[in-house]
Each structure stands twice: as structure tokens, then as C-alpha cells.
């Protein structure tokens, strides 16, 4: 097991390095002038020269990369060209929303998708099965931003059940837990940044501080975007679960379980599902990638100030530090999560460990 994990880790390192290089290059290759984008079209030669000097953009590219790597190693992502603020700070503000949204969408996709898949498989070819699969097919074919818009129109405007955009209603403020509990945390330290990052997950924060108003409000705002975002992964998970379970039910060991006199429930849960859900686990890692991509679109549609919209704006404004930092974080996070998924799979499936 240890060998397996360490081997996977080693393999991940060149990939992560590749990601860093690619991201760095891509960011630098974006045509257009950060100076003009930020200072304005009318910026003079001298102003731009000074700008480049100040931001370190006059150094040769390999040097810039080395500087970049060095900074990264210290956890310093540099300052945003656009806002002249540390990128880390911007990340602390923006990333939590994306994380909450993605996690919520994944949870919904799993909680709804897997049981649907199971029911469809157990009632193979029945009306439930056909209906669910039809829905799944349609779900997988819908553009997430369109679904979001339609949902806003129906549930927010027509029915007035949910807010159409934003993260919290105006006037509702989330109080960080360390403030609510009176923890002394020094500003400017890494510890502070970490706590700030955690407290920006409003749902988690309001849960642990038992701030009912904020909890209710933030959940209320997250429902529509999370459901919209979850639709495609949900459909895929449902289909995957169904086909995997159908396949498993035909296996020899399920027949053995029956031959032992096991009741249907035991056969399905202890024997079939334990095996059928394994492929679904591998899918989860891939889904995260889709969720992250979809998050950009969902955040745009629902007016949520998350990492997705930030990244998109940065690309348009040629704000290199933000582009690089956010892309790296997302990509590395994706690699790490897939690594975790791989390891979990190995834990769950003893056959893999022998590799």
C-alpha cells in the first residue's frame, strides 16, 4: 500500500511541474499589454517602462520563471497587476465560494445520482428505469449556463422561491468564527490567512458559530447554482451506477451469494454494490474537473464572486500573477484530488494493491 501511494506521488510530481511550466508560459504568451490593460490605452512609453520595471516584467523569461518558482516555494504568489494586492489575499477571498459551490454540487450529484442509478438497475427496463435514463440523457446534453438561466427564470423570478444571484443578501454579513469566539489572531501572519480562508466558507463558518441567519441565507443562495452545476455529474453518476450494478448483478459471486441463501438486500448491498460502486469512485475524480470548469460558467450566470469569475476577468485583463496562481491552484488541486481518488480506490479494491 505504501509503495502504491509513493509511486503515485512520484508520478504526480512531473505532471505538477509540467502544469507549472505550461501555466507560466501560457500566462506570458497572452498577447496584449498588461500596461495598456491596466493603466489604460493612453499610457505613455515612460509610464509603461516604469510599470514593467516595477512588476519585474523586463527580465528574460527563464529568470522570471525562476523567480516565480522561488516565490511559489515560499507561498508567495506575487501581487495582482490589476489590483496591486497580494494574489494570496485575493485567493483567500475568492476561492472559498468556488469550493463550497463545487462541494455542494458534488454532494448533490452523489446523493441523488447513486440511488437513482441503483433503483434503475434493480428495476431494469421498467418505467422508472427508462424514465430515469431519459432524464439522464437530457441532463447530460444541457449546457450548464443555459440550465442556470432557465432555473433563475423559473425559480427565482416566476416562483420567487430563491434569490437569483449573489452569495448573501445585502446587509447579511458573515462573522468569522475567530471573531465570534474572540480568538486572538494576529493580522498579517500565515495563521491569520489560513483562518481567514477557512472562515470565508460561509456555510461551514455559520455552522460552527451557529449563526442561523447567515447559514440560512447562504444556503438559500447556493441552492440554485449548486443544483444547476450538479446536473451533468448527477446524470453521469446515475448512468455509471446503473450500468455498473447491472454488470455486477450478473457476476458469478452474486450467484454464489444467492446460493448461500442470502436475502436480496444482503446480496445487493454487501456483494453487488460493494463492487459496483468502485468504478463510480474513479469517476468522481474526473467529475471534479468538470465541476471546476462548470463552476466558471455557473458563477458567471449567478453573479457569484468566486475563483472562476476572477480567473476569467484576469485572463481578459492580462493579469499574469492571478492567471498563473489561480490556474496552478486549480490544476494542482485537481491532480491532488485524483491522487486521493486513486488511493481510495486502491484501499477499497484489494486487487489493485498488488500492482
Partner 1 sequence: MTANGAVLDVRDLRTHFHTREGVVRAVDGVDFSVRPGEVLGLVGESGCGKSVTSLSIMGLVPKPGRVESGEIMFNGRDVLTMSKRQVQDLRGEHISMIFQQPTSALNPVARVGDQISEVYKIHRDLKKKVGKKSAIEMLERVGIPDPDRRAASHPHEFSGGMAQRVMIAMALALEPEILIADEPTTALDVTIQAQILDVMRELQRESGTAVILITHDLGVVAEMCDRVAVMYAGRIVEETDVATLFADPRHPYTRGLIGSVPVLGRITDELATIPGVVPNLMDVPAGCRFADRCEERVPAGLEICTSEEPDLFAVGDDHVARCWLYTEKISP
Partner 2 sequence: MFKMKRAVEQAEESETDLLDKPTSLWRGAGRRLLRRKGGMVGVGIIGFMLLVALFAPLIAPYGPNDVLIGKEDVKKREPPCIHLLGCDPEKPQHIMGTDGNVRDEFSRVVYGSRVSLFVGFTTVAVALVVGSVLGAVSGFWGGATDNIIMRMMDVVLGFPALLLAIAIVAVLGPGIRNTLLAISIVSIPAYARVTRAGVLGIKELDYVAASQALGASKIRILWTRVMPNALTPLIVIATLGIATAILDAAAFGFLGLGAQPPTAEWGAMLASERNNILSAPHLLFFPGIAIMITVLGFNLFGDGLRDALDPSLNE
Total number of residues that touch partner 1 (CB under 8 A): 24
Angle at 341 between CA 15 and CA 5, to 5 degrees: 65
DSSP state of 353: G
Q: Which of 262, 286, 305, 337 binds partner 1 (CB under 8 A)?
A: 262
Report the C-alpha gap between 216 and 207 in whole angstroms: 10
Name the minimum Å distance from CB 19 to partner 2: 5
Helical segments of 123-143, H only: 127-141
Pick what 331 binds: partner 1, partner 2, none; C-beta below 5 to 8 Å, kind-dependent.
Answer: partner 2
The candidate with the shortest Cα–Cα distance to 61, out of 35, 29, 32, is 29
Task: Give, in degrees to the nearest 5, the angle at Cα 320 between 319 and 324.
Answer: 125
Residues 296-355 that bind partner 1 (CB under 8 A): 348-351, 354
Number of residues that make up the chain: 355
Residues in 193-252 at the binding interface with partner 2, rule: CB under 8 A: 232-233, 236, 240, 243, 246
Q: Does 265 bind partner 1 (CB under 8 A)?
A: no
**What's the CA gap between 214 and 202, in Å, rounded?**
8
The interface region with partner 1, picked from 55-63, 154-162, 174-182, 249-257 by CB under 8 A, is 249-257
42: left (phi over 0), alpha (psi -120 to 50) or beta: alpha
Q: According to CB under 8 A, which one of 112, 258, 333, 344 is a site residue for partner 1?
A: 258
- Among residues 232, 244, 238, which one has the least CA distance to residue 138? 232
**Neighbouring-strand partners of residue 86:** 79
CB of 99 or CB of 214, closer to partner 2: 99
What are the backbone angles phi and psi of residue 218, rounded to the nearest 5°? -70, -40
276 lines the binding site for partner 1 (CB under 8 A): no
Q: Let me know how many helices (H) and strands (E) the chain has, helices first.
A: 16, 0
Question: Which of 158, 252, 265, 355 is close enough to bind partner 1 by CB under 8 A?
Answer: 252
- Answer for which of 59, 69, 143, 313 binds partner 2 (CB under 8 A) is 143
35 torsion bin: left (phi>0), alpha (psi -120 to 50), beta (else): alpha
Whether the CB-CB separation of 353 and 1 falls below 8 Å is answered with yes
Site string for partner 2, 260-299 (x = CB under 8 A): ----------------------xx--xxxxx-xxx-xx--
Q: How far is the CB of 16 from partner 2 (least distance, A)?
A: 8
Cα separation of 54 and 39, whole Å? Answer: 13
CB of residue 351 to partner 1, shortest distance in Å: 5
Residue where the block lists cell 490589476: 82
Which of 75, 160, 184, 261 is in the footprint of partner 1 by CB under 8 A? 261
Q: Does 180 bind partner 2 (CB under 8 A)?
A: no
Q: Does 7 bind partner 1 (CB under 8 A)?
A: no
Residue 17: CB partners within 8 Å, gap ≥ 6?
none
What string marks each residue from 69 to 88 as x (binds partner 1 by CB under 8 A) or -?
--------------------
Decide: is 95 part of the binding site for partner 2 (CB under 8 A): no
Q: Which one of partner 2, partner 1, none is in contact with 354 (Cβ closer than 5 to 8 A by kind)?
A: partner 1
Three cell numbers at 146? 443555459
Query: Which of 114, 118, 323, 341 is in the footprint of partner 2 by CB under 8 A?
Result: 323
Q: What is the DSSP letter of 269?
A: I
Quick one: what does residue 146 bind among partner 2, partner 1, none, with the CB cut-off 5 to 8 Å set by partner type?
partner 2
Question: Binding residues for partner 1, per CB under 8 A?
Answer: 250-253, 255-263, 266, 270-271, 274-275, 278, 348-351, 354
Amino acid at each position: 500500500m505504501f509503495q502504491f501511494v509513493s509511486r503515485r506521488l512520484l508520478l504526480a510530481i512531473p505532471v505538477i511541474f509540467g502544469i507549472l511550466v505550461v501555466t507560466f508560459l501560457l500566462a506570458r504568451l497572452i498577447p496584449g499589454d498588461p500596461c495598456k490593460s491596466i493603466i489604460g490605452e493612453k499610457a505613455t512609453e515612460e509610464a509603461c517602462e516604469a510599470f514593467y520595471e516595477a512588476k519585474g516584467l523586463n527580465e528574460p523569461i527563464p529568470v522570471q520563471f525562476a523567480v516565480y518558482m522561488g516565490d511559489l516555494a515560499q507561498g508567495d504568489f506575487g501581487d495582482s497587476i490589476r489590483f496591486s494586492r497580494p494574489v494570496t489575499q485575493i485567493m483567500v477571498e475568492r476561492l472559498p465560494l468556488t469550493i463550497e459551490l463545487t462541494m455542494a454540487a458534488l454532494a448533490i450529484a452523489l446523493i441523488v445520482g447513486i440511488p437513482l442509478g441503483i433503483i434503475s438497475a434493480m428495476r431494469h427496463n421498467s418505467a422508472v428505469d427508462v424514465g430515469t435514463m431519459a432524464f439522464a440523457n437530457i441532463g447530460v446534453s444541457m449546457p450548464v449556463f443555459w440550465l442556470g438561466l432557465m432555473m433563475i427564470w423559473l425559480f427565482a423570478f416566476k416562483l420567487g422561491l430563491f434569490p437569483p444571484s449573489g452569495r448573501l443578501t445585502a446587509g447579511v454579513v458573515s462573522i468569522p468564527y475567530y471573531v465570534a469566539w474572540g480568538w486572538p489572531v494576529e493580522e498579517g501572519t500565515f495563521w491569520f490567512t489560513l483562518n481567514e480562508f477557512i472562515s470565508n466558507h460561509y456555510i461551514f463558518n455559520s455552522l460552527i458559530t451557529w449563526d442561523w441567519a447567515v447559514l440560512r441565507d447562504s444556503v438559500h443562495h447556493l441552492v440554485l447554482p449548486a443544483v444547476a452545476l450538479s446536473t451533468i455529474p448527477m446524470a453521469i453518476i446515475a448512468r455509471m451506477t446503473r450500468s455498473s450494478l447491472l454488470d455486477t448483478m450478473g457476476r458469478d459471486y452474486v450467484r454464489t451469494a444467492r446460493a448461500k441463501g442470502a436475502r436480496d438486500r444482503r446480496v445487493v448491498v454487501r456483494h453487488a454494490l460493494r463492487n459496483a460502486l468502485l468504478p463510480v469512485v474513479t469517476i468522481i475524480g474526473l467529475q471534479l474537473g468538470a465541476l471546476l470548469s462548470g463552476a466558471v460558467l455557473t458563477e458567471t450566470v449567478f453573479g457569484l464572486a468566486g475563483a472562476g469569475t476572477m480567473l476569467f476577468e484576469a485572463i481578459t485583463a492580462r493579469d499574469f500573477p492571478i492567471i498563473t496562481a489561480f490556474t496552478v491552484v486549480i490544476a494542482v488541486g485537481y491532480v491532488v484530488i485524483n491522487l486521493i481518488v486513486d488511493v481510495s480506490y486502491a484501499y477499497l479494491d484489494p486487487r489493485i494493491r498488488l500492482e
